[in-house]
Structure 1
Amino acid sequence: MKLNRLNVIVTVLSLGSIFVAVGYTASHLPSPPNQKAPQVEQVEKPVATTTAASLLPQVGVVAVSGHEYQAEVIGFGEAKPRYELTLSAEVSGKVIQLDRQFESGQVIKKGTVLGKINDTSYQQALTQAQTDVAQAELDLLEEQREGEQAKAEWLRSGLSGEPASPLVLRTPQLAQATAALENAKQALKKAKQDVAYTNITAPFDALIISRNIQPGSYVQAGTELGTLYSVAEVEINVPLSEMQWKNLPVFDNAELAKTPWSVALQSTDGQYQWQGYIERVEQHLTETSRQRSLVVVVDDPLAQQTDLYPGTFVKTNIQGKSLTNLWQLPSSAISQQGDIWFVDDNGLLAKSAANIAFEKGGFVYVTPMTNKQDMPAKMQIVKRPLSNFKVGTKVLAKEEV
């Protein structure tokens, strides 16, 4: 019995060892050809690809193509009166009266009497001039009578031909009396004008800017009395670059006089708007900016819904001509260096100088790159280029609206 038990134990242990050996060997045998690959290997490959793509820097792009757009030219200028007059005294004398309207900020009508200069001496000169005219008229009449008498005496003398001297018929005396009368009339005209000049009047509808005299001031002819701005209209001189002029039609001053070109104006902060028109274009370049200007006019600037005061700096929006084959890009697409960044067909960053035609409503309108070899099949413009961008960098383009 003991021998049989021992044999059984040995047999059991031997069988266990065999099963262990068979299991180990089976685990290390290759899979059959028609058996599917382990699931672990199928998952690993796409995970690796997704991870590589996620490591690329992502940039927002907009797809563009050439279209036709109406150009808009933006300019800036200062509203100035058409006439800016330094009012001067025409005669000398003491200021004896000033009108209450002769103060800065007052708007006055043409012909308004702003002040009065003592006219006593000028009234006396007027009276003397009137007397001189009356005397000259009397002298002329007497000379005409004497000339007629001289001619009658010459005819009664029986002498033939013309007198040896024109003095016989008093011809020079008559000419002198006629000239004296004409001189007296001119003196009377000046005397009347001097009396009129003692009234300080506005030569046009005006805004009083300053007053330089006081009641009791003594002025000489030529003394500055004050400064007036005309209020019928203001002008805005708008200098434009050569590129801006190319975006406008060719203006002719004669045609503009018949059909003015409408212009929208607004304050620099955008709160107020006015409507004006191009009255003329200048035919010279300024010495300072080396640019040519156009002149925009606004009628009745102080009668607008919002007054346009002289000295206001304004922005002008001028509708230009239609331009073809332009890209419309957000303003943010132009880098600080003035470049356009785009993603080429290989997903690499590239750049080109921006040839801006005009700007309008938060967009810039640029001429496409002239070197078509550098242009990818599908233009993807980077919407917000960064300062650390480098040409040739591999990126992941994400199209945005």
Structure 2
Amino acid sequence: MKLNRMNVIVTVLSVGSIFAALGYTASKLPPAPNKKPPVTEAQVKPQENVAPATLLPQVGVVLATGEAYQAEVIGFGEAKPRFELTLSAEVSGKVILIDRQFESGQVIKKGTVLGKINDTSYQQALTQAQTDVAQAELDLLEEQREGEQAKAEWLRSGLSGEPASPLVLRTPQLAQATAALDNAKLALKKAKQDLAYTQITAPFDALVVSRDVQPGSYVQTGTLLGTLYSVAEVEVSVPLSEQQWQTLPAFDNAELAKTPWGVTVESADGLKQWRGYIERVEQHLTQTSRQRSLIVVVDNPLEQQSDLYPGTFVKTRINGQSIDNLWQLPSSSISQQGDIWFVDDNGLLAKSAANIAFEKGGFVYVTPMTNKQDMPAKMQIVKRPLSSFKVGTKVLAKVEV
């Protein structure tokens, strides 16, 4: 079959148009990037054996050297009055007067009359005792006279030797009259004392903590009237561990009585301070803590610039003796497990149990590790150890101030 001439011409023109379009599109595309030559094995191998320093974990360290430091012992305790008195009635009767000072919070002087018990019966008892004493004195005088008369009659009788009975010279009668007078005087003394006890008085300078009677109350001997705390001084019992005792001098109570050892007493929040002293040390261990305590005293606690109230929980700072060869480290250098982490001569992490002698001013003072025979003069102690640390890890130590 013969092709139509017109169809052939159309086909040729179409093919030419397609090739022209492809050529135009290829001219607009960006040129292909140049390929790098392949890396040889000789170029890769040296880089695999190099560990750049920048890839090592960096830890901050402080340089520790053994020096002498004065120990400081921190203890805690409660400020308590030296005397805590439960004031009781000495005689029975009706309370007819309560003084305005006999109220909680009042500070009273020794001898202050706090109240009064009806004393009518005690006045009568005193009068009777005085009468009994006068009668006993009269009886004694009469007995002495009768004894002298009996002795004179015995001498006039002309009899030799001693009478057959002491009754002849009235010796027993005289002894009885003398004893009766002594008893009457003691009864008078008691009557005066009972009368004095009808006045409720403070036995020492005191803080009134509570009052337990009212005007009109009837009290018996021993009835609770109130509670008083002495205000001349407060005591703080400070229990210490055996390690803390070793950093203090060997205190002797006789020496402390002559030369008290100064102590700084602080409030729990550290905002208030008082000056105290060690008055004595206890010579026994408590059954609860199995520790021995020292007694710190603060004089005139309610006359300080900031009052120290009984019952206040306080912190005591006690200067101890100077201890040689200690490391001064920041408190942060002790891990939660109580270890010290350090960087050895090979740049590897290591650790040792911390033997803390004492703490002071944000620092801990540690006894150097004795198991390191080749320990350098300055140890690189990690300032802030992490819980993720592992012994033997290669690190880059950076000294911090």
Do both share a fold (TM > 0.5)? yes
Letter in 2 for 1:79: A
Distance 1:295 1:123 in 2: 46
- Provide the rounded CA distance (Å) in 2 between the counterparts of 1:329 and 1:47: 40
Q: Contact (CA 8 Å) 2:56, 2:394: kept in 1 or not?
A: yes
**1:102-123, Cα deviation, whole Å (9 max, x unpaired):** 0000000000000000111111
> 2: distance between equivalents of 1:67 and 1:369?
14
Structure 2: how far apart are the matches of 1:235 and 1:374?
49
AA aligned to 1:365 is Y
**Which residue of the partner structure matches residue 9 of structure 2?**
none
In the alignment, structure 1 residue 379 sits paired with structure 2 residue 384: no
- TM normalised by structure 1 equals 0.87
Name the residue aligned to 1:196. 196
- Matched residues in 1 for 2:168 and 2:307: separation? 76
After the TM superposition, which parts of structure 1 deviate over 2 Å for at least 4 consecutive aligned residues? 44-49, 373-378
Residue in structure 1 matched with residue 171 of structure 2 by the alignment: 171
Equivalence for 1:115? 115
- How many angstroms does 1:262 deviate by? 0.5
| Partner SS for 2:183 | helix
Matched, 1:73 2:76: no
Is the Cα contact below 8 Å between 2:65 and 2:377 reproduced in 1?
no
Q: Distance in 2 between matches of 1:115 and 1:378?
A: 73
Deviations 1:325-372 (A, max 9, x none): 000000000000000000111111110000000000000000000102
The letter for the 1-side match of 2:323 is L
**What letter is aligned with 2:100?**
R
Q: What is the CA-CA distance between 1:260 and the residue it aligns to?
A: 0.6
8 Å Cα contact 1:348-1:395 kept in structure 2: yes
Equivalent in the alignment of 1:281? 281
TM-score under structure 2 length normalisation:
0.87
Q: Secondary structure at the match of 1:372?
A: coil
Looking at structure 2, the residues matched to 374 and 199 of structure 1 have their Cα atoms a distance apart, in angstroms, of: 79
User: Shift of residue 55 of structure 1?
Assistant: 1.7
Indicate the residue corresponding to 1:346 in structure 2: 346
How much is the aligned-residue C-alpha RMSD, in angstroms? 1.7
Equivalent residue of 1:173, what SS?
A: helix
Code of the residue aligned with 2:230 in structure 1: it is S
| Partner in structure 2 of residue 294 of structure 1 | 294
1:75 Cα shift?
A: 0.5
Q: Confirm or deny: 8 A CA contact 2:69 2:326 kept in the other structure.
A: yes
2:260 alignment partner in structure 1: 260
Gaps of 5+ in 1: 1-27, 29-40
Tell me, yes or no, if the aligned pair for 1:280 and 1:294 is still in contact at 8 Å: yes
Hey, what's the Cα distance between the residues in 1 that align with 2:128 and 2:176? 20
SS of the counterpart of 1:139?
A: helix
The Cα of 1:52 is off from its aligned counterpart by: 2.5
Amino acid at match of 1:256: L
Equivalent runs, 1:212-251 vs 2, <5 Å: 212-251=212-251
Change (3 A) 1:182 1:312: same
The Cα of 1:46 is off from its aligned counterpart by: 9.5
Query: Take 1:156 and 1:189, find their aligned partners in 2: how far apart are those partners?
Result: 43
Instruction: Give, as a single letter, the amino acid of the residue that structure 2 aligns with 1:120.
Output: T
Q: Relative to structure 1, is the Cα distance of residues 82 and 377 closer, same or farther in structure 2, using a 3 angstrom cutoff? A: closer
Does the aligned pair in 2 maintain the 1:82–1:233 contact within 8 Å?
Answer: yes
> Counterparts of 1:46 and 1:90 in 2: how far apart (Å)?
99
Q: Secondary structure at the match of 1:122?
A: helix
Aligned to 1:106: 106
State the AA in 2 paired with 1:262.
Answer: G
Query: 1:344·1:376 contact (CA, 8 Å) conserved in 2?
Result: no
Percent identity over the alignment is: 84
| Residues matched between the structures, number | 359
CA shift, 1:240, in A, is: 0.5
